[in-house]
């Protein structure tokens, strides 16, 4: 290869390079919107992960409360059944003696209590000794409030700073619902 051929090849390479640079600019402009959208989506991932984390904390609390509720409900059903058998026995004895039968006690209604401190646990809905400022809800009402909180957490309109805040947020929503 001669020196002239090398110069010609170099000139063609520079011309090709300039053409490729122009072509690259056009392709970059075409790719820029999707690249920018991808970067924005990537930057939102940590925020979305945080929203998902808080929503999963609500779900875990909901499952714990449901389990405790079912356990207390099973115990209450046993006590209720025993009470009905005892009432039946007393009624038989009273009727045999010519007396009026005893009115059977009503079945206990189980629900969820939320204390001002944020403690959430199953409780009797008709408890005459309910502490002041305790909110009593049915399980269905509690589940609806927890679902509403999950939606707010996923949207990012509510962002707790610790897991201890979640029961208090549920209580706040329950108070708003009662008003």
Return the closest-CA partner of residue 140 out of 106, 172, 116, 110. Answer: 110
Q: How far is it, in rounded angstroms, from Cα 45 to Cα 50? A: 9
Return the closest-CA partner of residue 145 out of 111, 107, 95, 110. Answer: 111
Poorest-pLDDT segment among 5-19, 35-49, 112-126: 5-19
pLDDT (0 to 100) of residue 85 = 83
- The number of beta carbons lying within 10 Å of the beta carbon of residue 141 is 16
pLDDT (0 to 100) of residue 108 = 83
Q: How far is it, in rounded angstroms, from Cα 164 to Cα 138? A: 22
Contact in structure between 87 and 77 (CB atoms under 8 Å) = no
Total-model pTM = 0.67
Instruction: Tell me the H-state helices in the chain.
Output: 3-96, 139-155, 165-178
Q: Which range, 8-22, 31-45, 72-86, 109-123, is most confident?
A: 109-123
Q: How far is it, in rounded angstroms, from Cα 6 to Cα 2? A: 6
Contact in structure between 92 and 162 (CB atoms under 8 Å) = no
Instruction: Label residue 6 by pLDDT band (50, 70, 90).
Output: very low
Answer yes or no: is pLDDT of 166 > 90: yes
């Amino acid at each position: 290869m001669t020196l002239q051929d090398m110069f010609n090849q170099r000139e063609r390479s520079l011309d090709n390079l300039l053409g490729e640079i122009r072509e690259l600019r056009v392709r970059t402009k075409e790719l820029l919107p999707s690249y920018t959208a991808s970067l924005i989506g990537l930057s939102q991932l940590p925020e979305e992960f945080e929203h998902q984390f808080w929503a999963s904390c609500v779900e875990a609390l909901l499952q714990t409360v449901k389990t405790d509720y079912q356990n207390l409900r099973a115990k209450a059903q046993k006590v209720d059944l025993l009470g009905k058998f005892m009432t039946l026995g007393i009624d038989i004895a009273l009727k045999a003696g010519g007396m009026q039968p005893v009115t059977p006690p009503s079945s206990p209604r189980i629900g969820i209590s939320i204390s001002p401190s944020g403690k959430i646990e199953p409780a009797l809905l008709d408890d005459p000794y309910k502490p002041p400022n305790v909110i009593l809800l049915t399980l269905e009402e509690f589940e609806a409030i927890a679902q509403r909180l999950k939606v707010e957490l996923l949207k990012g309109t509510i962002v707790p700073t610790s897991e201890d805040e979640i029961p208090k947020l549920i209580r706040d929503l329950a108070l708003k619902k009662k008003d």
